[in-house]
């Protein structure tokens, strides 16, 4: 059915508990930011529209503005969340997979950050690599949609469209295992190792997608269960908000469920997919045929390959290191 041991993933979370606590602090902090921004915006909107005949109708719009403001701030901060939280956890999980003993407590978090900084001098470099990886993965997944777009039977075409959307959403964990491949392989040329990791993923696409889809389904089933459990207390909290903000109880419950998913469930899925990936590619070399296919199909892959070549050239005698690339948005 799948190629990972779920109990090993749970065990990995126990062994990296310091990072789980950091993730909980960050992602529940994000949920709290949304709650405060939405509630505060709703209160201000209610107050401003309470004069005259407004009767507090501005509560909804105030809450919407607060929600949008929090989203804008987090869009700006996403590079640093990736750099200091997600990548650090990926790094220590990769070391754990290879049997390395990890430090405990705060030392484990510092160790993960140190590994990330040794490989990516700035957050913008990691973010640029991550965006290129995601761009290539979208092309790989898009091939399936392109091939099935011309099927003559509407039912089959609709089914493949649904599968294609699930495959696209399941990429949440795949870009992180490509980073894990780099951490495992080591070396200074992250562009080259990321390119190799993508080729290895592509040449084992069927097996990797099977595992990614199973994990995506499991994670979202658990997230929906958490959402339903949290909905009642969310309604109780929102009932204290001024005006007609009752509809935000669903958003509050979803944000809290999302926090559980991001802090606790996603690293479980990541380690499970890491098991499947490393097990599948064991003893394999990147296939030149698949590299050529990706190079023809994806501009992002060509860019990744060019950066890998430029990095090698910069290390030749008499050459200076090229200026580090800015993050792509």
SS3 152: coil
Least confident piece of the model among 120-124, 130-134, 323-327 = 323-327
Ordered DSSP codes for 98-119: TTPPPPPTHHHHHHHHHHHHHH
Top-confidence residue, 314 or 104: 104
Q: What are 244's two structure tokens?
A: 């007609």
What local confidence, expressed as pLDDT, does residue 56 receive? 54
Contacts of residue 289, Cβ cutoff 8 Å, sequence gap at least 6 = none
How far is the C-alpha of 85 from the C-alpha of 192, rounded, in Å? 24
Tally the C-alpha atoms within 13 A of residue 264's C-alpha that lie toward its C-beta.
13
Between 293 and 161, the more confident residue is 293
Please tell me the pTM assigned to this model: 0.79
Place of tokens 């099927």: 151
pLDDT band at residue 175, thresholds of 50, 70 and 90?
Answer: confident
Residue 182, phi then psi, degrees to nearest 5: -65, -45
Q: Which of 121, 60, 48, 115 lies closest to 86 in space, CA to CA?
A: 115
Greater pLDDT, 10 or 244:
10
pLDDT higher at 10 or 141: 10
pLDDT for 169 equals 61
Confidence bin at 116 (pLDDT 50/70/90): very high
- pLDDT tens across 37-71, in order? 877 777 777 677 665 555 556 777 777 788 788 88
Percent of the chain with pLDDT over 90: 32
Please, which contacts does 216-219 make with residues 24 or more away whose CB atoms are closer than 8 Å? Answer: 216/166, 216/169, 216/170, 216/172, 216/173, 216/269, 217/166, 218/269, 219/261, 219/265, 219/266, 219/268, 219/269
Pair of tokens at residue 82: 């990736």
Position 329 scores a pLDDT of 39
């Amino acid at each position: 059915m799948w190629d990972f041991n779920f109990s090993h993933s749970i065990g990995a979370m126990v062994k990296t508990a310091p990072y789980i606590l950091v993730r909980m602090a960050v992602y529940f902090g994000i949920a709290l930011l949304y709650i405060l921004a939405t509630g505060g915006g709703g209160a201000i909107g209610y107050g401003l529209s309470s004069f005259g005949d407004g009767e507090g109708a501005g509560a909804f719009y105030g809450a919407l503005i607060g929600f949008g403001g929090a989203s804008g701030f987090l869009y700006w901060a996403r590079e640093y969340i990736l750099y200091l939280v997600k990548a650090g956890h990926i790094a220590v999980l990769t070391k754990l997979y290879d049997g390395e003993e990890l430090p405990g407590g705060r030392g484990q978090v510092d160790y993960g950050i140190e590994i990330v900084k040794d490989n990516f001098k700035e957050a913008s470099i990691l973010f640029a690599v991550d965006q290129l990886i995601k761009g290539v993965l979208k092309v790989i997944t898009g091939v399936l949609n392109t091939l099935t777009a011309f099927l003559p039977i509407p039912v089959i075409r609709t089914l493949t469209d649904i599968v294609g959307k699930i495959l696209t959403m399941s990429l949440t964990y795949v870009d992180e295992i490509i980073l894990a491949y780099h951490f495992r392989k080591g070396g200074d040329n992250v562009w080259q190792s990321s390119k190799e990791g993508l080729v290895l993923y592509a040449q084992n696409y069927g097996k990797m997608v099977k595992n990614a889809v199973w994990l995506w389904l499991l994670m979202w089933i658990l997230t929906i269960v958490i959402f339903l459990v949290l909905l009642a207390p969310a309604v109780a909290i929102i009932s204290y908000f001024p005006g007609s903000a009752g509809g935000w109880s669903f958003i509050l419950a979803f944000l809290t469920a999302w926090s559980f998913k991001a802090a606790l469930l996603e690293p479980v899925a990541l380690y499970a997919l890491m098991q499947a990936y490393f097990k599948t590619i064991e003893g394999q070399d990147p296939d030149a045929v698949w590299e050529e296919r990706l190079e023809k199909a994806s501009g992002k892959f060509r860019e990744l390959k060019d950066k890998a070549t430029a990095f090698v050239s910069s290390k030749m005698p008499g050459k200076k290191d090229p200026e580090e690339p800015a993050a792509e948005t």
